Structure 1
């Protein structure tokens, strides 16, 4: 059932039309029988009047009637449409043909061997009956559209609370979990409204606890991590002053571990912030090309360390309506991944394209790339190609592309992976609607 309103209106109108049609049909039959009885009674009255008065004066033919008077076996009077020869018909009512028409005939005998015949054309009887019946049915048929309109208004009014309930639900934002209030709540809708508000209340509490937990965890982790970084820095400084060596590079591994932990905490916080349930986009017109140049400038020191070549091709200015924080994070994550997995002296290219209905950013690198069968899996949280460490040896948390996908979905865009334009590597294509 696609629509309760459409279903109710359609069924009620169908029942109304069917019952009205049956009532009109029955009315037609009863009216036709009654009209025939009345016409026959007229014929009887005319015949009786003629028999009573034929000796005094010649009968006069009524409008449309055929009259024949027989006395002593001879036709003594015949109206204009009556046959001149004695009509042989049974006594009482019958249907006969004469004068080129079909007639309803009434024949009556008197005690003195006289006979009178009164006939009426069947066509005239049927026409008069149809006029009477049509006049009685016409108001019923004419009222059908008004009845249908009345049904539509009544059903629409009855379903107004349901429509208001649906409108409030569909117009809500992802993080709006306040109770639903209706001006009028019918008895059938009260359990649904109560269950929905109860669900919103539980969801609101769960989201509040989740946000508070994520914030508390990040705060509690950052503090000891900062202490660990400071302690590690002081230890390394002390070792150098004492001339101690780190042949097994344990301190270097410890530094990388602390750096990876900090990166993981930051990515988890960003993932929580950009999740559709928590993210509140503040979209505005942005120059995507200028934003890409700013992000490249932020990463320039890492590019220099690995002696990588980077270029920005395509549109010099590309306007797109998006959230600035989210779009900057998207470009930064894509560029950071490209720098991380592209080897020394590698190449990275950002291409900005303007299509008919979308703004497109392509980030291609000359790194090892990803197998096509893993294109969809890399968007899953904490998934990393090759296990905990990529075959390039680059550290990571497996959240970068998950964050990018969330941002793309928030902007109703598309993201896809493919082979790089270089000899090897990966190309990420992001399309955002204009």
Structure 2
């Protein structure tokens, strides 16, 4: 197939010509058969008229015809439906009423005073006309569904390369940017296919550069940041050995700034790693309850330091098919946020259960919570509630929930925010397919 247009035009013309010829042939056959029946009836009338001249007992005319023969006004023969008396109707064709019907009458006079009258019911003539018309258009009407089916098959065949291209594009993953190939490429799709593959090539190069940039920057920053942390630690140690005091807390501010930068770099690397376009998930069956207990134990020192009361409620075991690293990171980020924003002596509650075909994790805290109007924005990268008004009191970069959102999307799940069941606070609910 070199061109969809030429293929469609040539094949559709051929199909229409073939079906129209077959329909006309069938119409001719049916019309000829009906005309033969009418000519046969005329032969019966002619034979009857000849028999009457020789006083032969003529059979009744077929198809309800009325025949009357007279000479000098004297009735010589009449069929069953003909009038009993000779009428003085005009010569030629006319329409008359007798025997309770409307008739088409033909009267003709011959030599020696002979006169013949032949009549046919108008209803019968209309029925014969309808039959002839039906016989002529019936094959054409019958061929229309056949033509429609053939046209549908032909158009489907012609558009198969377009459907193949659409199916390939729809089935591709977000990070699959290899060139698209088709077995048969019509002329109309060559430019489209070439432009699409060129776009994929440019996107692949752009994504590769972006991925390398984020990864390289994060890795390159780790080394000077580690050096900076070591030097700060050594400087603070010397200050303490020399008996110097940090009255304005300059060293403390530096340590906090370096720690915040280190956390930001780690989160950027995690965000790049867990993005659905880059993450290669290795899913397996995991016990979400056991995983939550492990994450809580990892955060135990922070929980103990702030004297938080934490509980895990719900099902004893909850099996989900997920990536171990991603799911552990999801729970750790949500629990870390709850610990970070919950004041000392506050409460944190983890609830795990099933709901229909979903595995559900809900984490509630008794912190300040988030205004409902800001729920949609907190999943954006680097977004923090109220801007940076609490950046020093509560360190962070606004990437935690963005990472959680990517992990949830990676597992085809859903995440919701709502007020907590405590006097204040936030409730984060994560639903993953069982």
For Structure 1 versus Structure 2, the TM-score category normalised by the shorter chain is 0.7 to 0.9
2-structure distance, mates of 1:371, 1:158: 56
Say which SS state the counterpart of residue 115 (structure 1) adopts: strand
Q: Distance in 1 between matches of 2:374 and 2:81?
A: 101
Residue pair 1:39, 1:125 contacting (<8 A) in 2 also: no
Q: Match of 1:158?
A: 158
The whole-number CA distance in structure 1 between the counterparts of 2:52 and 2:421 is 119
Task: Give 1:325's aligned residue.
Answer: 325
CA contact (8 A) 2:369 2:425 kept: yes
- Secondary structure, counterpart of 2:112 in structure 1: coil
Query: Aligned-pair distance for 1:99?
Result: 2.8
1:86 deviates by 0.5
Compute the displacement of 1:312 (Å).
0.9
Structure 2 runs not aligned, ≥5 long: 1-7
Deviations 1:167-207 (A, max 9, x none): 10111111100011011112222222122111111100000
TM normalised by structure 1 equals: 0.85
- Aligned residue number for residue 119 of structure 1: 119
C-alpha separation between the residues in 2 aligned to 1:303 and 1:88?
A: 125
Q: Is the 8 A contact 2:31 2:135 kept in 1?
A: no
Q: Which residue of 2 aligns with 1:296?
A: 296
* Residue of structure 2 in register with 1:63 after alignment: 62
Matches of 1:358 and 1:345 in 2, distance apart? 33
Q: Provide the secondary structure at the position in 2 that maps to 1:188.
A: helix
Distance, in Å, in 2 between the alignment partners of 1:49 and 1:63 is: 11
Decide whether the 8 Å contact of 1:380 with 1:402 is kept in 2: yes
Shift of 1:389: 4.2
> d(CA) in 2 for partners of 1:62 and 1:42?
10
Q: Which residue of 1 is the match for residue 4 of structure 2?
A: none
SS in 2 for 1:95: strand
User: Structure 2 length normalisation: TM-score?
Assistant: 0.85
- Whole-angstrom CA distance in 2 between matches of 1:114 and 1:174: 99
Counterpart of 2:113 in 1: which secondary structure?
A: coil
Shift of 1:352: 1.1
Aligned mates of 2:255, 2:224 — CA distance in 1: 14
Q: Deviations over 1:72-129 (max 9, x none)?
A: 2222222333222003322112232323343332211124332111223444445555
Q: CA 1:370–1:323 in structure 2 vs 1: closer, same or farther (change >3 Å)?
A: same
CA distance in 2, matches of 1:63, 1:313: 97
Q: CA RMSD in A?
A: 3.2
On the 8 A contact 1:375/1:417 being kept in 2, the answer is: yes
- For 1:112, what is the secondary structure of its paired residue? helix
The answer on whether the counterparts of 2:41 and 2:62 sit within 8 Å (CA) in structure 1 is no
Which stretch of the first structure deviates more once superposed, 369-378 or 330-339?
369-378
- 5 Å matches for 1:419-434? 419-434=419-434
Written as runs of structure 1 = structure 2, the 5 A alignment for 1:350-369 is 350-369=350-369
Contact 1:295/1:332 (8 A) holds in 2: yes
Instruction: Provide, for residues 391-431 of structure 1, a one-character-per-residue CA deviation record: whole Å limited to 9, x for no partner.
Output: 88111111111111222222222222222222222221212
Other-structure match for 1:215 = 215
**What SS class does the counterpart of residue 96 from structure 1 fall into?**
strand
Quote the Cα distance in structure 1 between the aligned partners of 2:197 and 2:313: 52
* 2:176 matches 1:176: yes
Cα distance change, pair 224–89 in 1 and its aligned pair in 2 (3 A)? same
Alignment deviations for residues 33-62 of structure 1 (CA, whole Å, 9 cap, x no partner): x9599669939x957994x88665468354
3-state SS, counterpart of residue 229 of structure 2: helix
Decide whether the 8 Å contact of 2:61 with 2:79 is kept in 1.
no
Give 1:31 shift. 6.1
CA distance in 2, matches of 1:128, 1:368: 92
More displaced 10-residue stretch of structure 1: 409-418 or 58-67? 58-67
Distance 1:252 1:391 in 2: 15
Aligned to 1:253: 253
Provide the C-alpha distance between the structure 2 equivalents of 1:55 and 1:383, rounded to a whole number of angstroms: 116
Does residue 1:206 correspond to 2:223, yes or no? no
